Amino acid sequence: MATLVDPLDRPGARPHNRIAAARLVVRDTPAAAWELALVPGDDPAELGEDELVGYGVDAGTGCFYDASADGVFPGTEDEEGAVWAAMETVGYGPAVFMAEGDDGHNLAGFTSVWGDGCYPTWTGRDASGEVVCFVTDFGVAPRDLDLPA
């Protein structure tokens, strides 16, 4: 969660909270290496300077789910079903929710910081190369910070 304040706001203006990143922990061990999460056909070498590989967000909501769960959340594209029902329970604003689909599959959903767009996900691996987590970066922190050493 990030608390954002516009430096041009009047003194005492209320800051707003946003989800800065979402993490799905697969194993409770530290990540020793990180790599950009890719799907077949993604080639980061073909990207322009300001382009990135990520997943598309619609309705200001992103999620993590296993590829084996693809298709087990009927009605999602029509704004109905388990995912939309779970979204409605948390309302507007920064939120995380769980939806249960057919055959017991789960989906972890969350609001995206700036709404619709494309956001990169990173895969964390332990020292033996096993996946330990996935992290989606919603771009809250500027990438070109000039921080002192």
Give the pLDDT score at 120: 92
| Nearest C-alpha neighbor of 105 from the set 71, 61, 57 | 71
pTM score? 0.77
| Nearest C-alpha neighbor of 96 from the set 104, 105, 87 | 87
Pairing label, strands 131-137, 121-125: antiparallel
Tell me the helix, strand and coil percentages in the chain, rounded to 5. 15, 35, 55
Give the pLDDT score at 138: 84
Residue with tokens 């921080």: 147
Instruction: Provide the β-strand partners of residue 58.
Output: 61
Give the pLDDT score at 35: 93
| Mean per-residue pLDDT over the chain, rounded | 82
29 pLDDT tier (thresholds 50, 70, 90):
very high
